[in-house]
Homo-oligomer: A and B are copies of this chain.
Amino acid sequence: MHQSDIQPFFAKWGDLPQETYCRFIYHLVPDGDARTAAAALCCESSTAMWRRHGVSEDLHTAHGAKVIGCRPLASRPGAYEGEIAHPICNFGARLPNLLTAAAGEGAFYAPGIVTVKLMDISFPDTFLQRFDGPQFGLNGLRERLGVRDRPFFVGVVKPNLGLTSAYFAPVAEAAWVGGLDLCKDDEMQADAEWSPLADRVRAAAAARDRAVAATGERKGFIANITDEVACLSERLRAAETSGADVVMLNPIWTGLSAVRQVRTLATVPIMGHFVGAAVLSRQPDFGIAAPLLIKLMRLAGCDLIAIAGFGERMRSPKEEIMASIAACLEPMGPIRPALPIPGGSDWAGTLPTLFSTIGHADFGFIAGRGIFAHPMGPKAGAISLRQAWEAIRTGETLADVATSAPELAAALTAFGSP
């Protein structure tokens, strides 16, 4: 770009009408001058041409994205943090259009940029007000489930594929009776010929009611309604009328705006699952940062958000997971906090470290095989989670508690010491 073409793509944040801009943060490696590369990013993502042939006009002011910051990253030689103010009028309060602006030709096909990662987006409150966000949020979930001063205990019913509803429900029931607050479908288990959604939810809801009667605690079933977007309202209705307490989607593959569509119709909380997020976020220097994807799921209306957690298999850095948890909970204008549920390979033995790492109890503790592959069965698996929490509450070690808690002892033996 010529130097005269670059200048209109720079501004001071303080000089702009801030409520009309979103701010996009990128980490980028230029192959030449970093400020020129950042300006090229702005150009390609907004006013690649800013006047018609033969017309004296300048569309930069209203429609041009502007570099408002470009600083070397101390931690990565050669890399820069670019801060871009993008006019909201170019995309509106619409998630697919927002992502087209933030993660489109601008960022990923700009000349002079070798590698780039979209790290964060900041929104003015007037923009956030155009979204509903979570209908219930963290506090609403605590209210509905009567869970106070502790994490929510969540189980992914396993075997996740192949059980007909009549066999699925008793497995969930055992885990609820053992101490789970929420049983859920696996992200792979949606509506299937061998387990139609309405059938499964009806059977699970009856099992939930029996578990509620047996324990005196409130319980919930999370039904996976992931489907083609054309079918989502039908799936939602089927899940709700069959007794689901929460509906789940895989927003990366349905699209984030599918959550927003469900949000306008749902009478129950919505859970978003991280599946697919790694494809966008796993590379440290490229793509879209995982915490931003979580933030967008919250903005779209997820009350609960499953996050790739601390298990080794998840290959997620601790700082990233902590930032994703913060993206659920931190103040966000009028948007309610969501319940973060970091997970993947967790079991009773990982709870103490998880709790001390997070530092508070505003999270969901989720396990699959850690409950349902417990050597004494799913009820014992769920009991082992509550025993681990009791150890934390009383300040004892898991090993100490295990001497009088056979379910925890069996978990420690089967799944290894924490």
Contact = CB atoms under 8 A, between A and B. Distances in A.
Contact of A253 (B99, B194, B230, B369): B99
A227 B254 CA distance: 14
Interface string A162-173: 110001000100
Contacts of A105: 187-188, 275, 344
Given A104-B187, A227-B94, A111 B159 contact: no
Interface in A139-182: 158-163, 167, 171
B104 A53 contact: no
A395 interface: no
A242 interface: no
Nearest to A226: B96
Interface stretch (A68-76, A213-221, A276-284): A276-284
A97 B260 CA distance: 19
Interface string A210-241: 00000000000000001111110000000000
A103 B97 CA distance: 24
B253 A109 contact: no
A13 interface: no
B227 A188 contact: no
Given A52-B159, A159-B52, A250-B100, A257 B228 contact: yes
B193 A47 contact: no
Nearest to A158: B49
Contacts of A415: none
A250 B48 contact: no
Nearest to A95: B228
B47 A159 contact: yes
Interface residues of A, number: 88
A230 B261 contact: yes
Interface string A260-302: 1100100000000001101110110011100000000000000
Contacts of A91: 188, 190
Contacts of A96: 226-229, 250, 253-254
B161 A97 contact: no
A48 B62 CA distance: 53
A358 to B, nearest CB: 20
A238 to B, nearest CB: 15
A46 interface: yes
Contact of A161 (B59, B231, B256): B59
A255 B282 CA distance: 20
Interface string A83-108: 00000011110111101110111001
Nearest to A316: B109
A52 B161 contact: no
A374 interface: yes
A290 B109 CA distance: 14
Interface stretch (A119-127, A307-315, A332-340, A386-394): A307-315
B275 A100 contact: yes
Interface string A40-77: 00001111111111100001001100000000000000
13 contacts: A46-B188, A47-B159, A48-B159, A52-B167, A53-B375, A63-B161, A90-B161, A91-B188, A92-B192, A96-B228, A104-B250, A109-B314, A111-B312
Given A46-B188, A52-B167, 18 more contacts: A52-B159, A53-B378, A54-B377, A91-B190, A94-B228, A96-B228, A99-B276, A100-B275, A100-B276, A105-B344, A109-B278, A109-B344, A227-B257, A228-B260, A229-B257, A229-B258, A253-B256, A254-B257
Cβ-closest 5 pairs across A and B: A255-B255, A59-B162, A230-B261, A108-B278, A96-B253
